[in-house]
Amino acid sequence: MKKISFIKTCLVLSLIFNLVALGLGLTYVHYVNLSIPYAISRMPNIVRDVLGIKLGEDIALKQIIIQEYPELETGDITDYEKVCILRDWAAKVIDVSSYSLQLTLRDQSFGSWSAYDIYSAFAGDQGGVVCGGSATFLTKVYHLFDLQACTLNFGIHGLHTHMVTLVQIEHNGQEILSVQDAWYNLTYQDLNSEPMDYFTMLGLLMQQKDDEIAVIKSDTSLERDWLYYDGDIFWPEQEDCTYVGLVISGTEITGVTKYRCTFTMPTSLSEEGEEFLTQRGLPPRRIYLYVFPRNISYCSRAAELLEKASQITGWPLPVVPLSVK
């Protein structure tokens, strides 16, 4: 009897400890101000989990997004409208940078960062991403809203590759896998303005019916902060950029200059890319890069989805997919 009583006491104390830890985590996030995110804390994830900080950060970021788009929580919107709103939000907060400031290169554990970690890095001018980091960020934002999502890496190795997000939604009573591109802030629909399923899209491309695939870009002007580290190659030269100023950390100048740039989606491929597609009997257009799936990551169904894509396109799988959420 005493043993049972002792166990009950331990369970109650454990529950109280977890509630207090969660409260501390939420208080910590509130203290640093939800509307002005702080620079990333590199505290070990296990410590942040125990203190409830990571959970508090996730809740905080979700509330930041809902404050901007209250219809995500209160409005009568479809799954498709929800994932498009979240993509548009993510596309607007993404920072771009020169090579030395690429977040994916500076930290090999970038894939384990939370959505809030990445968001805070952008807000604190700590670095930027390109398409891969953009897709990873959007995927983790979808996870905040309990949406099943993966990253898709596709294209021609060494010539043209790109990464987008695949997110599962329900539409007209059917489950479909919607392609959402946070880097160029676009998605795809059929000619009836219905969201297009990824596998349906692959089937149309294999039949060379890309005229039945509509590219839907956001109305939002795609302007982003671009961070340049002194000594790096100044990229991207083709974009319209305006000087903003030097990035300062505390009282120290970091050697980083900030620009505000307008980004546009390229409309053509390199000669090598066009030749690659033409030699395989495909039209030399960018959308046909989707015919070459390379990797799917950050979801439990990654291997299954990649195998299905490979069966449709007939393109052999180049790598073992990651399936870590």
The domain locations on the chain are 1-76, 79-313
Q: Which residues contact 251 (CB under 8 A, 6 or more apart)?
A: none
Q: What is the DSSP string of 76-94?
A: ---HHHHHHHHHHHHHHH-
| From 228-232, 267-271, 305-309, 318-322, the region with the lowest mean pLDDT | 318-322
Over residues 147-206, the pLDDT tens digits come to 999 999 999 988 899 999 999 999 999 999 999 999 999 999 999 999 999 999 999 999
- The rounded mean pLDDT for the chain is 83
Q: Where are the alpha helices (DSSP H) in 155-301?
A: 198-206, 271-279
**19 has pLDDT over 70:** no
> Helix, strand, coil proportions of the chain in percent (round to 5)?
45, 25, 35
Choose the most confident range, by mean pLDDT, from 52-61, 71-80, 137-146. Answer: 137-146
| CA–CA separation, 52 and 193 (whole Å) | 43
pTM exceeds cut of 0.85? no
Alpha-carbon 42 to chain mean position: 20
Of residues 130 and 55, more confidently modeled: 130
Structure tokens belonging to residue 279:
């030699």
Over residues 103-145, the pLDDT tens digits come to 999 888 999 999 999 999 999 999 999 999 999 999 999 999 9
**24 has pLDDT over 50:** no
How many Cβ atoms from other residues are within 10 Å of residue 232's Cβ?
A: 15
218 exposed, middle or buried (CB, 10 Å; 0-12, 13-18, 19+)? Answer: middle
Binned at pLDDT 50, 70 and 90, residue 6 comes out as: very low
Helix (H) or strand (E) segment spanning residue 66: helix 53-68
Amino acid in position 280 = R
* Contact predicate 156/140, CB 8 Å: no
90-122 as b/e: b if 16+ CB within 10 A: bbbbbbbbbebbbbbeebeebbebbbbbbbbbb
Of residues 231 and 13, more confidently modeled: 231
Binned at pLDDT 50, 70 and 90, residue 33 comes out as: very low
- The whole-number pLDDT of residue 42 equals 45
